[in-house]
Amino acid sequence: MLRVAIVGDHGSGKTTFLGLLYAALVSSGSGREDELRFHVAYDSLDEVTALFQRMMSGGFPDTTTKEGLHELRVELDAARAGHGLLSRIGSRKGAAGPSPTIHFSLPGSLDEASPGLHQGSTFGTGKWRDALDADVVAVLVDSTKLAPKGADPKSGPARAYDGRVEALLVAVQRWRSSGGRAVLHPVFVFSKFDSVPPAFLEAANLEATPPAAAKTGPRSLYGKVLLEPNLPRTLAMVRAPAGKKLRFAPPSYVFSGVRTETKGSPPHEQIRLRRTESGGWEPDYSKGEYLAFLDEVAKVAAATKD
């Protein structure tokens, strides 16, 4: 079983990310083309179904949903001749490979974690054990709090968050010092990326749209330009030379966005819905980014042995 921990501060979009991930699975696995097969474990089904239904009606996760949903276990019929998930989409030919089980977990909010974890300690970690044992750590980066290129990283809005993520990775290193997987795959998820002003990206000499997932070099450079003034300590840690006990794989990047609209009285934000090819409705979100993320996860699962 592959373990994926989704971490971030309160309000960074962790539950929304998991809900849109599930929406991408449903959208790709329920069409006539049978693009993707997946199975959700029974112990995760009620909570994720409630989240999915809420988001499909335009609502963001409420407090009850956030408090009740801590994990999602899915079995992906995704391996296709060792080429990952996306090679399967749109094709029903070829011999099926093994179906990996992937455990997505939401251990909590980093800004509400125990002081010990903030200091890099593994004592009293509780539900953060999922992050310490993870094969993949998806770090949510709230795009509305990004500092511009050239800003002082010590005074930027993400400074404290940078320290918390670094402390988590230190805790993972200490936890793995006595055993466990030798490789950790970091994924930086820029949540609310649709809210980044075009002028901000232009000032950083970045295109308005990130490079496609297949263009790994330009995409990594794009992500690093955004991270360097915001999470410099975290980025330096994952790019450091490999140690003896834990190695960080080259980081990958997800640029997540979901469009919103104002409705009701008093005004409040709702998820904008769009028509699907089958005539139904789904959130207006960056579906391709989620499929690319699932592709990366499937590749890690294929290369990882329990």
Which CATH number fits the domain that encloses residue 79?
Answer: 3.40.50
Q: Is-contact 155 26, C-beta < 8 A?
A: no
On whether the CB atoms of residues 296 and 286 are closer than 8 A, the answer is: no
End-to-end CA separation in angstroms for the chain: 7
**Phi, then psi, of 270 in degrees rounded to 5:** -130, 160
Q: How many Cα neighbours within 13 Å face the side chain of 211?
A: 15
Report d(CA 203, CA 264) in Å as an integer: 36
- What is residue 44's predicted lDDT score, i.e. its pLDDT? 73
Cα–Cα distance, 247 to 82 (Å, whole number): 23
For 259, how many CA atoms within 13 A lie in the half-sphere containing its CB? 10
For the entire predicted model, the pTM comes to: 0.88
- Classified as helix, coil or strand, 242 is coil
Confidence (pLDDT) at 153? 60
Q: Residue 147 has which token pair?
A: 């500092």
Looking at the structure of the chain, the number of domains it has is 1
3-state class (DSSP) for residue 88? coil
CA–CA separation, 164 vs 298, rounded Å? Answer: 28
Tokens coding 99 = 């179906």
292 Cβ neighbours under 8 A, 6+ residues apart:
86, 213, 254
Alpha helices for 30-132 (secondary structure H): 42-56, 63-68, 115-118, 129-132
Q: How far apart are CA 36 and CA 42, in angstroms?
A: 19
Q: What is the pLDDT along the chain (306 residues), one digit of tens a residue?
A: 899 999 999 999 999 999 999 999 888 765 444 455 677 766 778 889 999 999 999 999 998 888 888 888 888 764 443 344 544 443 334 444 557 788 999 999 999 877 777 666 765 567 888 899 999 999 999 999 998 777 666 667 788 999 999 999 999 988 888 887 889 999 999 999 999 989 899 999 999 999 999 999 999 999 999 999 999 999 999 998 766 678 999 999 999 999 998 876 566 789 999 998 878 899 999 999 999 999 899 889 888 865
- Alpha-carbon distance of 170 to 163, in angstroms, equals 10
Query: CA nearest 186: which of 5, 19, 16?
Result: 5
Alpha-carbon Rg for the chain in angstroms: 19
List the domain range (segments joined by +) for residue 83.
2-303
3-class secondary structure, 149: coil
